[in-house]
């Protein structure tokens, strides 16, 4: 059964925005008193909150799918839809939020930090909000925008002052139990510890936390054993305590060789940019299991060699608690020094949020080759949002979208990209919304593509002059006179009777 999880993929679905309402107010003697459709409510956000009381990601491992409430639809009489409630997810301190590609989005290292992992969708405007002096009674409303749907990765990095590192069965869990009130699992076989254990130590006036990292073996930085999976829990620690086993029965092992292997693995582990490498942090050595006679002899034998390397060495026993008091106060001294260094560091650069310029064109027009010619794809926040808000079953809503795109300058950008009337235009990624571009002509001067020195508009139809209209009129009158003369000759030749002539004359009179 899984008891500890430090890497979880959350599948999030933020609330969708509610649709705007199309409504017309009706009163006595005023059947059409004006639009009164309300706006749709906004969808709820999914927010990650750094909570000191939360210590594991196990709950999200068992239930990775999380969603927030949708916004309610707008109603008549100017009633807006209800906003969807936000969903707050508490995460442990030290949780790093990443996307599926491994890009870091947020580092939840301070209590109370909040990060909107999935923003909710915006509610659509009702027809009351869309009415203007020129459009007094809109017959459409805007649709709500879908909320964010996607995955985020939560990676927990334990926040502790001191990290205990060493070989499996070196006594790290026993040391945590002896120094603090924590009660980790302790057994006489390797790899008993399957997840980091935290303990709180009180040494005089100093209180600090220690983390028991699962045992490291040779090749841990390359993925052997459990070390690589849990070495990231050492990143945030101020000091390192090497726990060396002086009573091991494994052939070929001794405290000096164990320390060399552990140092090699710590040096091979890359820390994030801006943090100290693991080997440059303060380090102490604890020679454990001196309650065993052979262990005490070995500890006395290697202490001098370790001190020559510059380490401060403590001989301890987690069974008899010998040497633990001196060790705890030495660790407290290192923790205080580390905290003083952090307090002396300049404050982090503040994040400055600057709104975008009003006239900034936050969209692009890309030309893509297709089997039937070039395709012009429009990508941008505004065009894609406007398309999502449009009800394409309503012609008036489609016309409103066309007006918004024209005001944004989309037609000019399409023309500069080489689009002509009838070109295929796609708004959005993937399939998006596909349509044939029909440019809106104003002066048409910007759409002239004839060679220099010519004007295609001059080759079209033009208005006739008075002389041309007069000449055409006389030609038509002469043709009618000739037709009457021909009829008279046929009558005299006996080809048709007088009754027919009379009817023909009456019909001719009606035509005149």
Residues 6+ apart with CB under 8 A from 340: none
501 exposed, middle or buried (CB, 10 Å; 0-12, 13-18, 19+)? middle
**In this structure, what CATH number is given to the domain that contains residue 284?**
3.40.50.300
**317 among annotated binding-site residues:** yes
| Residue 378, number of CB atoms within 10 A of its CB | 24
**168 among annotated binding-site residues:** yes
Same structural domain, 172 and 208: yes
Check residue 224 and give its pLDDT: 47
Same structural domain, 169 and 311: yes
Which residue would you say has higher pLDDT here, 254 or 511? 254
**197 among annotated binding-site residues:** no
**172 among annotated binding-site residues:** yes
190 exposed, middle or buried (CB, 10 Å; 0-12, 13-18, 19+)? middle
In a domain, 168, yes or no: yes
Same structural domain, 7 and 145: yes
pLDDT range class, residue 194, cuts 50, 70, 90: very low
Mean pLDDT, rounded, of the chain: 80
Check residue 221 and give its pLDDT: 46
In a domain, 146, yes or no: yes
Instruction: Kindly tell me if the per-residue pLDDT of 477 is higher than 70.
Output: yes
pLDDT range class, residue 462, cuts 50, 70, 90: low
In a domain, 349, yes or no: no
* CA gap 66, 91 in Å, rounded: 14
Check residue 356 and give its pLDDT: 61
Same structural domain, 283 and 431: no
**290 among annotated binding-site residues:** yes
Same structural domain, 112 and 242: no
How far, in Å, are 276, 284, 287 from residue 259 at the CA level?
20, 11, 11
Tokens (6 digits) for 35: 């639009």
pLDDT range class, residue 191, cuts 50, 70, 90: very low
* CA gap 125, 143 in Å, rounded: 7
311 exposed, middle or buried (CB, 10 Å; 0-12, 13-18, 19+)? middle
Check residue 458 and give its pLDDT: 53
% of the chain exceeding 70 in pLDDT: 79
Nearest 10 degrees: Cα torsion 439, 440, 441, 442: -140
DSSP-derived letter for residue 381 is H
Check residue 116 and give its pLDDT: 93
Long-range contacts from 382-385, C-beta under 8 angstroms, 24+ separation: 382/408, 383/408, 383/410, 383/427, 383/428, 384/427, 384/428, 384/429, 385/122, 385/145
DSSP-derived letter for residue 242 is E
Same structural domain, 115 and 203: no
* CA gap 287, 309 in Å, rounded: 15
**In this structure, what CATH number is given to the domain that contains residue 110?**
2.70.210.12
Which residue would you say has higher pLDDT here, 344 or 390? 390
Where is average pLDDT lowest: 98-102, 139-143, 169-173, 322-326?
169-173
CB 246 within 8 A of CB 295: yes
**221 among annotated binding-site residues:** no
In a domain, 314, yes or no: yes
- The total domain count for the chain is 4
**In this structure, what CATH number is given to the domain that contains residue 413?**
3.30.300.350
- In the sheet that holds 104-108, the strands lie side by side as 65-67, 7-13, 149-156, 95-98, 104-108
pLDDT range class, residue 376, cuts 50, 70, 90: confident
* CA gap 193, 183 in Å, rounded: 12
CB 57 within 8 A of CB 91: yes
**185 among annotated binding-site residues:** no
Alpha helices in 317-380 (DSSP H): 324-344
* Arithmetic mean of pLDDT, 197-213: 81
Reduced to 3 states (helix: H, G, I; strand: E, B; else coil), residue 366 is strand
CB 288 within 8 A of CB 323: no
Tokens (6 digits) for 139: 């017959």
* CA gap 204, 421 in Å, rounded: 82
Check residue 196 and give its pLDDT: 65
Task: Quick: pLDDT tens for 237-260.
Answer: 888 888 888 887 777 778 888 888
- Host domain of residue 391: 363-459
Same structural domain, 174 and 250: yes
In a domain, 350, yes or no: no
CB 165 within 8 A of CB 262: yes
CA–chain centroid gap for 255, Å, is: 49
Task: Quick: pLDDT tens for 53-71.
Answer: 887 788 898 899 999 999 9
Residue that finishes a domain, picked among 438, 459, 480: 459
pLDDT range class, residue 187, cuts 50, 70, 90: very low
Instruction: Kindly tell me if the per-residue pLDDT of 199 is higher than 80.
Output: no
**319 among annotated binding-site residues:** yes
Task: Quick: pLDDT tens for 5-26.
Answer: 678 999 999 999 999 999 988 8
In a domain, 40, yes or no: yes
Check residue 476 and give its pLDDT: 82
Check residue 47 and give its pLDDT: 95
CB 338 within 8 A of CB 387: no
% of the chain exceeding 90 in pLDDT: 19
* CA gap 137, 36 in Å, rounded: 9
**169 among annotated binding-site residues:** yes
Same structural domain, 204 and 335: yes
CB 502 within 8 A of CB 491: no
Tokens (6 digits) for 142: 């805007």
**102 among annotated binding-site residues:** no
CB 231 within 8 A of CB 269: yes
- Pairing mode, if any, of strands 197-203 and 206-212? antiparallel
Residue that finishes a domain, picked among 284, 311, 344: 344
Check residue 142 and give its pLDDT: 94
**356 among annotated binding-site residues:** no
**288 among annotated binding-site residues:** yes
Same structural domain, 298 and 414: no
Check residue 18 and give its pLDDT: 95
Residue whose C-alpha is closest to residue 155's, from 209, 214, 95, 109: 95
403 exposed, middle or buried (CB, 10 Å; 0-12, 13-18, 19+)? exposed
pLDDT range class, residue 229, cuts 50, 70, 90: low
In a domain, 358, yes or no: no
Where is average pLDDT lowest: 134-143, 183-192, 282-291, 381-390?
183-192
Instruction: Kindly tell me if the per-residue pLDDT of 220 is higher than 60.
Output: no
**208 among annotated binding-site residues:** no
Same structural domain, 121 and 237: no
In a domain, 355, yes or no: no
* CA gap 105, 91 in Å, rounded: 15
Check residue 169 and give its pLDDT: 73
Where is average pLDDT lowest: 162-166, 270-274, 311-315, 426-430?
270-274
Same structural domain, 264 and 290: yes
Check residue 442 and give its pLDDT: 55
**193 among annotated binding-site residues:** yes
Give the DSSP per-residue string, 94-154. TEEEE-TT--EEEEE-STT-EEEEEPPPPPPPPHHHH--SS-SS-S--PPPPPPPEEEEEE
Give the DSSP per-residue string, 251-275. TT--HHHHHHHHHHHHHHSPPPTTS
**173 among annotated binding-site residues:** yes
Same structural domain, 232 and 320: yes
**215 among annotated binding-site residues:** yes
pLDDT range class, residue 150, cuts 50, 70, 90: very high
* Arithmetic mean of pLDDT, 277-289: 86
Which residue would you say has higher pLDDT here, 410 or 358? 410
Residue that finishes a domain, picked among 436, 459, 482: 459
CB 233 within 8 A of CB 213: yes
Which residue would you say has higher pLDDT here, 191 or 337? 337
**213 among annotated binding-site residues:** yes
Check residue 2 and give its pLDDT: 44
**291 among annotated binding-site residues:** yes
């Amino acid at each position: 059964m899984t008891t500890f999880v430090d890497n979880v993929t959350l599948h999030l679905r933020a609330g969708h925005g509610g649709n705007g309402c199309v409504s017309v107010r009706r009163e006595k003697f005023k059947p059409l008193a004006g639009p009164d459709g309300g706006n749709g409510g906004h969808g709820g956000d999914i927010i990650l909150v750094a909570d000191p009381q939360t210590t594991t990601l196990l709950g999200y491992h068992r239930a990775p799918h999380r969603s927030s409430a949708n916004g309610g639809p707008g109603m008549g009489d100017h009633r807006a839809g209800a906003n969807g409630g936000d969903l707050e997810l508490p995460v442990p301190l030290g949780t790093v939020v990443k996307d599926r590609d491994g890009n870091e989005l947020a580092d939840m290292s301070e209590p109370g930090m909040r990060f909107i992992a999935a923003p909710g969708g915006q509610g659509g405007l009702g027809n009351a909000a869309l009415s203007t002096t020129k459009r007094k009674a809109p017959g459409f409303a805007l649709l709500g925008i879908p909320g964010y749907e996607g995955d985020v990765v939560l990676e927990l990095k334990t926040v502790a002052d001191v990290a205990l590192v060493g070989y499996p069965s070196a006594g790290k869990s026993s040391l945590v139990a002896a120094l603090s009130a924590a009660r980790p699992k302790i057994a006489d076989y390797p790899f008993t510890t399957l997840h980091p254990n935290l303990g709180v130590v009180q040494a005089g006036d100093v209180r600090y936390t220690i983390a028991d990292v699962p045992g490291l073996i040779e090749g841990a930085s390359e993925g052997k054993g459990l070390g690589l999976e849990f070495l990231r829990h050492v990143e945030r620690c101020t000091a390192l305590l090497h726990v060396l086993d002086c009573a091991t029965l494994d052939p070929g092992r001794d405290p000096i060789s164990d320390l060399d292997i552990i140092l090699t693995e710590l040096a091979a582990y890359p820390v994030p940019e801006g943090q100290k490498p693991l080997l440059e942090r303060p380090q102490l050595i604890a020679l454990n299991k001196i309650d065993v006679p052979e262990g005490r002899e070995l500890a006395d034998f290697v202490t001098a060699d370790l001190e020559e390397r510059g380490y401060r060495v403590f001989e301890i026993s987690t069974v008899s608690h010998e040497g633990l008091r001196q060790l705890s106060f030495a660790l407290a001294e290192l923790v205080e020094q580390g905290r003083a260094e952090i307090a002396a560091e300049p404050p982090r650069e503040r994040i400055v949020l600057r709104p975008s310029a009003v006239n900034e064109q936050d969209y692009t027009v890309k030309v893509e080759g297709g089997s039937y010619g070039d395709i012009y794809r429009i990508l941008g926040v505004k065009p894609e949002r406007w398309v999502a808000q449009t009800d394409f079953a309503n012609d008036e809503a489609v016309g409103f979208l066309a007006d918004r795109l024209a005001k944004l300058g989309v037609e000019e950008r399409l023309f500069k990209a080489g689009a002509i009337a009838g070109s295929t235009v796609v708004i959005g990624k993937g399939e998006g919304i596909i349509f044939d571009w029909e440019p809106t002509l104003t002066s048409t001067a910007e759409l002239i593509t004839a060679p220099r020195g010519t004007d295609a508009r001059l080759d079209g139809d033009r208005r006739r002059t008075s002389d041309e209209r007069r000449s055409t009129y006389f030609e038509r009158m002469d043709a009618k006179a000739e037709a009457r003369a021909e009829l008279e000759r046929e009558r005299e030749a006996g080809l048709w009777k007088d009754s027919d002539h009379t009817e023909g004359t009456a019909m001719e009179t009606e035509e005149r």
